[in-house]
């Protein structure tokens, strides 16, 4: 029998290769699902006016929890990564003591919400660029992950041309109104035709009764003449 040695312990080779591969894939998938994840939201960028105050969002997630989670924010200054802030979160529910390395930066995260966002006050054009939110979780054998957020600083926000949107909305609204008008007209026409048909039926019944009366048919309301008496 083929035997492999790992350290000092022998391990028999698993005969069915596919079964071994499947087990390994399942275990690897479970471990991957437990890995630390950092997120800056569905929209990883922000366009802000010079002199305004903005928030850079970031949250972390771990299936098995955290222990001494290390995180930091870094700013990409023309290829040189500069620390913005950093801290260690001992465990869930404990607010971290954050070290700030740049001016006009404030930590606004809340650990009970897995939030490690920061606030930038009175931003300038030099503040524009790429920010990285990084995390490392020793509880997951130092698994780490990072997410990038882009800040764009402008003189003034661009005015969005909504002409095409308005045209599309007007066309859709007009089509809906036309369809509703057609349905109302159809229902009204059917109502009028139904009433006319009922009136015609009433006229036919009335005229039939009159004809029977004039002809003296049995069952009519015509008065019968008395039989003349014999003298």
Confirm whether 110 is domain-assigned.
Answer: yes
Domain with residue 120: its CATH number is 2.60.40.10
CA distance 28 to 19: 14
- Amino acid 182: pLDDT: 83
Structural domain for 192, as ranges: 162-202
Confirm whether 143 is domain-assigned.
Answer: yes
Please, which residues have CB within 8 angstroms of residue 113's CB and are 6 or more apart in sequence? 59
Confirm whether 214 is domain-assigned.
Answer: no
CA distance 19 to 124: 59
Extract long-range pairs of 214-219: CB within 8 Å, 24+ residues apart. Answer: none
What is the value of pTM for the model shown? 0.58
- Amino acid 124: pLDDT: 96
Confirm whether 22 is domain-assigned.
Answer: no
Q: Are residues 107 and 183 in the same domain?
A: no
CA distance 198 to 76: 83
Structure confidence by residue, pLDDT tens digits, 49-77: 999 999 999 999 999 999 999 999 999 99
Q: Are residues 95 and 42 in the same domain?
A: yes
Q: Are residues 41 and 128 in the same domain?
A: yes
CA distance 18 to 62: 30
Number of domains composing the chain: 2
- Amino acid 195: pLDDT: 79
- The string of DSSP codes covering 73-113 is EEEEETTEEEEEEEEEE-STTPPP--EE-STTEEE---GGG
């Amino acid at each position: 029998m083929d035997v492999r040695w790992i350290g000092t312990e022998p391990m028999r080779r698993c005969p069915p290769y596919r079964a071994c591969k499947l087990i390994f894939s399942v275990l690897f998938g479970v471990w991957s699902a437990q890995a630390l994840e950092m997120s800056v939201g569905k929209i990883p960028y922000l366009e802000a006016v010079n002199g305004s105050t903005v928030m850079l969002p970031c949250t972390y997630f771990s299936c098995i929890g955290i222990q001494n989670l290390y995180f930091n924010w870094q700013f990409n200054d023309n290829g040189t990564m500069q620390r913005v802030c950093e801290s260690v979160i001992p465990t869930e529910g404990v607010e971290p003591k954050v070290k700030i390395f740049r001016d006009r930066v404030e930590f606004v995260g809340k650990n009970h919400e897995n939030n490690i966002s920061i606030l930038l006050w009175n931003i300038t054009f030099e503040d524009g660029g790429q920010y990285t939110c990084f995390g490392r979780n020793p509880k997951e054998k130092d698994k780490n992950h990072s997410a990038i957020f882009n800040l764009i600083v402008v003189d003034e926000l661009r005015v969005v041309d909504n002409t095409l949107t308005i045209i599309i909305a007007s066309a859709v609204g007009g089509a809906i109104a036309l369809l509703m008008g057609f349905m109302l007209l159809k229902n009204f026409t059917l109502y009028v035709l139904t009433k006319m048909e009922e009136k015609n039926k009433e006229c036919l019944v009335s005229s039939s009764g009159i004809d029977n009366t004039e002809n003296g048919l049995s069952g009519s309301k015509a008065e019968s003449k008395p039989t003349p008496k014999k003298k």
